[in-house]
């Protein structure tokens, strides 16, 4: 049985815009920003929303539209 959730990761085209959304809408607190150093495959940031970790990573959009989503 699943006991918890580690973190969702969202691939976004603009880290700054998504940061504004997470902070402004969800009152997220930024706890990590890779800057120019990338330990994963691209620049990324990690936030805390309450006690849930949320990661965003810079990337290209999908080549075709999909109905991928997360509902809050």
Tell me which residues are annotated as active site. Answer: 44
Q: Is the model's pLDDT at 12 over the cut of 70?
A: yes
Taking only the tens place, the pLDDT of each residue in 15-69 is 999 999 999 999 999 999 997 776 778 899 999 999 999 999 999 888 888 887 7
CATH numeric code, 9-58: 3.10.180.10
Three-state secondary structure readout of the chain:
CCCCCCCCEEEECCHHHHHHHHHHHHCCEEEEECCCCCCCCCCEEEEEECCEEEEEEECCCCCCCCCCCCCC
- Predicted structure pTM score: 0.81
Q: Which residue has the higher pLDDT, 3 or 20?
A: 20
pLDDT value for 41: 80
């Amino acid at each position: 049985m699943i006991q918890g959730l580690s973190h969702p990761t969202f691939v976004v085209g603009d880290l700054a815009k998504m940061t504004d959304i997470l902070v402004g809408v969800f009152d997220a607190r930024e706890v990590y920003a890779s800057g120019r150093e990338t330990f994963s495959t691209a620049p990324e940031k990690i936030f805390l929303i309450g006690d849930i970790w949320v990661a965003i990573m810079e990337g290209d959009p999908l080549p075709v539209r999909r109905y991928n989503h997360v509902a809050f």
